[in-house]
Amino acid sequence: MLIFLTVVFFISLVGIIGLFAVKHWERTHSRVLYSNVRAIADKNAAKLKVLVHMRRAELSKLPPQALVMAKKAVHAGALGAARLARAMESKSHQLADLVSHKHHFEKRETRSEFLKQVGEHPLTPSNGGNTADNGQKGGESL
């Protein structure tokens, strides 16, 4: 989740920097990019601003108990989402154990000829082995 939030943050940061770069380019070149799209966006922003002010006035008419109930509902929803996430996490580990091919791991003989030859090679002090472990007589181990 932290990685996702970090990626979203940096994408937003790059977008904001890009907007400032476009604005700087427009000022230096005395040109406006996509003026028709900007006019439509300005009209929609003005409509949205009026709607927000109307809703704010209507919400102020609600009794304080409605605000408390809404706050409790949001809190209960957040706790429920956390509970669901925790349950999904535990089930995901169970599912991973179920589908894992190493669930009941049993050591088998290797198929690699090289590894078979290395395993059969006797260990001596000169190649890093301990002669006492091999049952051979010889020098001391380090």
Question: Can you tell me the mean pLDDT for 22-28?
Answer: 92
Closest by alpha carbon to 22, among 11, 34, 36?
34
How far apart, in whole angstroms, are the C-alpha atoms of residue 62 and residue 55?
Answer: 11
Q: What is the pLDDT of residues 116-131, one digit of tens each?
A: 888 787 777 776 666 5
Mean pLDDT rounded to a whole number for the chain: 82
pLDDT tops 70 at residue 101: no
- The full set of domain ranges for the chain reads 1-33, 34-85
Tell me phi and psi for residue 84, to 5 degrees.
-65, -40
The pTM of the whole model exceeds 0.85 = no
From residue 24, alpha-carbon distances to 29, 30, 37, 38, 95 in Å are 9, 10, 19, 16, 53
Tell me phi and psi for residue 121, to 5 degrees.
-70, 130
The structure tokens listed for 110 are 């290797």
